[in-house]
Every structure is written in C-alpha cells, then in structure tokens.
Amino acid sequence: MPNLAEPPTPTESRLPALYLKPHEERRLLAGHLWVFSNEINVAVSPLAGYSPGELVQLRSSRDRFLGYAYINPRTLISARLLSRDPAWPPGLPLLRRRIETALALRERLYREPFYRLVFGESDLLPGLVVDRYGEVLVVQLGTAGMEALKELILEALVQVIAPRAVQWRNDSPIRELEGLPLYVETAFGEVPDNVVIPEGGVRFRVPLASGQKTGWYFDQAANRALFSHHARGARVLDVFSYAGSFGLQAARAGAREVTCVDASAAALEAATATATANGLALETRKGDAFQALEALHAEGRRFDAIVLDPPAFIKRRKDHPKGLAAYRRLNQLALQLIDHDGLLMSCSCSWHLAPGELTDAVQRASRHLGRFVQLIAVGAQAPDHPVHPAVDETRYLRAFLFRVTDAC
C-alpha cells in the first residue's frame, strides 16, 4: 500500500470562495468535477475577481463547503474540483496522495512500467495527464489550474516515482483555450530522443520529442491485443497506423502480410525501424487515408483484416455532422477492400460520436456495398485510462470488431 502522508491542517478559510447559484451543486454532489460559468453566482462572486488557475473553495448557495477547485474565468468550464475534503487542500501532500493512488492501480494492472500513470478527471486530477515510459515521464498540463501547480506536480512525481527524466509536453492546442502558451520542455533529468515500448511481443521504438501526443497511444493497447488475436494468417491493413502498433503486433501474432497507412512520414519511419529491429515484414504507404484506401481498391488489393483508428473527426459538438459523414465514408472505403469472411475493427476516439452511431455507420456502409457485417467483439480504452462514471467525457474510445461476409 502507498505510504500516505499525514493530512495537512485545513486552509479552507484562507482561499477565496466561489459561490454557486441555488441547486447548481447537484452535479458536483453526484460525483462530477466541473462547474460551468452559468452555474456561478456572479453577483456574489464575480468571475472578473479571479485570475486563471487560482485556487478557490467552492461553496453552495447555502454556504456549504463543496470542495477545493481551481478556476479559469476565461473558459466555459469555470472551475474543476480537486478535493472534497477540507483537510486535503491542493498542495504537495494531496498531489502525492493522488499520484500514489493512481500508481497503485497501474501497478496492479501492469507487469512493466509502461502506461498512462495519470488520466485527468478519472484519477481526480482534472487537466493532468502523465504517461510513463519506464523511468521517463511525459506530462501534459491541460489547464491553467494545472499549469499553476506545475512545480508541485513535478515535485510530487519525483517523490513518488523517482524518475530519471520528466518532460513537459505542453503543446496541445486545447491549451490555447485556457490562455496558455504551447511548449515542449525538459522538466527534469535528460529526456532521451527515443524510447522502447514492449507491447504484444514487439519492442516498439518511438521518438519522444517529435512523436505524437506523448509518444504512444496507450489507450488502444487492449484493442491491439484483440485485433492481433484474430489476425493470424491474415493480410492486414493498419489505417492511421502511427508507429505501426496494430499492424506489427498482428505480424508478431502470425499475420501473413501487413500494410501500414499514415499521413506522417516520421510515424512510418518509426514503424519500419521497429519492423526491422524485430525481424518483421512491413509495407508502408504514406498519404491521406481516404485516398490510400481508394488507390488500394483501384489496384485490386484485398485484405482479410483491417483496422481503422482515425484521429478524432468530431472534436467539438458543432463538428458532428461533418465528422459523422467522414466516419461513414471511411468505413465504407475499408469495407470494400475486405475479402469474404474478413474482419474490420472500427475505432473512434471522438467522445461526441455515440457508440451506436459508429456501429450504424458500419452497418449502413455494408448495406450500401451489399455486404453483411456481424459485431463479434466490443473493445474499450485500456484500464490505465479508467472511466469516471460521473464524467462521461472520460469514456471516449469506441472499438468494434466486425466479421464481414458477402451478402446473399
């Protein structure tokens, strides 16, 4: 069990209060962590009185203490809850305790230290993401509140994990909404250019600094295992492959041939380097996935198992109609490349795309092409990305494995 620090004495009274309107505490009491700007009693606690990232104590309209939060008066989500316990205000002891609790889950789940160590709201650290590559940590601070706690977060990570190096990967565009600058910087130690990630019997070589996101998509690990399991003997097409994680694990599991498609030359170079180092055969195609799928069709190529793992086509609600159309088109292009009795794993990391909308997109496309699809497995985000049941936004990854046959 983690060694928890003694709780500090309450500082509740020292932090400025943020008052909610009547009844607006209900979502928080049900477990959610967010306060929207229209829920705040601005007559009593005007938003202009707070600076981005400042710590506050949240209070109901009846002056009940609800918890400690950080605030950003510029954003639609005005405050995010950090602690509900008056004896645990935000500070080093709380951060250490949260990180120790997060670590205990990952240590229970994983034999090797390669995982998402902290997944924001789901680990009660809203706005903070930490990925662990052995002794190297890559940290994303997504909000002004987390940015303000930066030095304490680093100290807590160093105390709990004792890493060799820590990198700030603060270049996500969501930071702009928070009024934060974008930067990538070494926080501590010497961050290596590359890391080696063992997964599915393959040792993946991934560039850290130039890699995407924090370098690896840990959330898809369970789905990669599911896909590989079904790929023995198959001609595999890995679309939106990044560093070839689906395709090369399938190759290791006995796929007959593997083709990776991605728009990023660096991602495909990493995939090729991994293939060579692991003695696996790989064909890569650089380019837009939609065009590549059309070209493969025109060439008469056929596959037995295709995985589609696109970037989020629906980042904001208003993108929904266009994004849904893109998911439909993509799945249709993939289905027409699949031979009789093949497999399609269709994924989406758009929270705004309901699971039923993705299965429906595949079903419609299959009807259009005169194929028949059966859903044989439903995948989910890996358990190092736990879902907070009160915060549905944390349940964002959809993965469906379909069997595809010719309709008759």
Site for ligand SAH, rule CB under 6 A: 212, 217, 220, 240-242, 245-246, 262-264, 267, 288-289, 309, 311
Task: Give the nearest distance from C-beta 197 to ligand SAH in angstroms.
Answer: 10
Q: Are 195 and 217 in contact (CB under 8 A)?
A: no
Distance CA 337, CA 324 (A): 21
Q: Which two tokens stand for residue 214?
A: 């924090």
Distance CA 180, CA 62 (A): 34
Residue 392: C-alpha distances to residues 24, 99, 388, 407 (Å): 18, 22, 7, 37
Q: Which residue, 19 or 204, has its beta carbon nearer to ligand SAH?
A: 204
Task: Give the nearest distance from C-beta 333 to ligand SAH in angstroms.
Answer: 12
Cα–chain center distance at 179: 22
**Other Cβ atoms within 10 Å of 101 Cβ, number:** 15
Q: In terms of Cα–Cα distance, which of 247, 251, 244, 234 is closest to 272? A: 244
CA atoms 165, 171, 175, 180: torsion sign: positive
Task: Give the nearest distance from C-beta 228 to ligand SAH in angstroms.
Answer: 12
Q: Which residue, 240 or 303, has its beta carbon nearer to ligand SAH?
A: 240
Task: Give the nearest distance from C-beta 391 to ligand SAH in angstroms.
Answer: 23
Q: Which residue, 68 or 217, has its beta carbon nearer to ligand SAH?
A: 217
Q: Which residue, 34 or 204, has its beta carbon nearer to ligand SAH?
A: 204
Q: Which residue, 123 or 309, has its beta carbon nearer to ligand SAH?
A: 309
Q: In terms of Cα–Cα distance, which of 293, 238, 240 is closest to 263? A: 240
Q: Which residue, 270 or 361, has its beta carbon nearer to ligand SAH?
A: 270
Task: Give the nearest distance from C-beta 312 to ligand SAH in angstroms.
Answer: 9
Q: Which residue, 123 or 262, has its beta carbon nearer to ligand SAH?
A: 262
Q: Are 371 and 405 in contact (CB under 8 A)?
A: yes
Task: Give the nearest distance from C-beta 210 to ligand SAH in angstroms.
Answer: 12
Give, as one character, the DSSP assignment of residue 363. H
Q: Which two tokens stand for residue 14?
A: 């020292």
Cα–chain center distance at 347: 13
Catalytic residue among 260, 347, 349, 408: 349
Listed in sequence order, the residues at least 6 apart from 99 whose beta carbon sits closer than 8 Å to its beta carbon are 117, 118, 125, 130, 156, 157, 160, 161
Does the annotation mark 347 as catalytic? no
Q: Which residue, 245 or 336, has its beta carbon nearer to ligand SAH?
A: 245
Q: Are 305 and 343 in contact (CB under 8 A)?
A: yes
CA atoms 180, 314, 353, 110: torsion sign: negative
Task: Give the nearest distance from C-beta 221 to ligand SAH in angstroms.
Answer: 8
Task: Give the nearest distance from C-beta 275 to ligand SAH in angstroms.
Answer: 14
Distance CA 372, CA 200 (A): 30
Give, as one character, the DSSP assignment of residue 261. E
Distance CA 295, CA 408 (A): 27
Q: Are 245 and 309 in contact (CB under 8 A)?
A: no
Residues acting as catalytic residues: 349
